[in-house]
Amino acid sequence: MLVKYKCSGQEKQNACLACGKTEGMKNRRYCSIKCRQKLRQKLNARSGLLQALNTRYATFYFSDTIITMDVVPHGVKEIFRFTQARSSGHSPGEDYSKMADMLGHAWWDVEKKTNRKYLASRHVLEMASRHDVPLTSFHPRKISSPAVQKKYLEYLALDKAELNSRELRQIIKNAYRRQAKIHHPDIGGSAVRFRKIHEAYKGMLHWAENPEFIVRRGFIDKWFYDGDKKHWVQPMPDK
User: What averages of pLDDT result for each successive group of 10 residues across the chain (239 residues)?
Assistant: 37 78 87 94 96 95 96 91 95 96 97 96 96 71 83 93 91 96 92 95 94 84 92 83
Whether pTM exceeds 0.95: no
CA distance 28 to 31: 7
Which pLDDT does position 13 carry in this prediction? 58
CATH top class, domain 148-211: mainly alpha
Domain spans, the chain? 33-140+219-233, 148-211
Which pLDDT does position 132 carry in this prediction? 80
Among the listed residues 33, 152, 220, the one whose alpha carbon sits nearest the alpha carbon of residue 160: 152
Which pLDDT does position 238 carry in this prediction? 67
Which pLDDT does position 66 carry in this prediction? 96
Secondary structure in 3-state letters for 172-224: HHHHHHHHHHHHCHHHCCCHHHHHHHHHHHHHHHHHHHCCCEEEEEECCCCEE
Which pLDDT does position 24 carry in this prediction? 85
Which pLDDT does position 39 carry in this prediction? 96
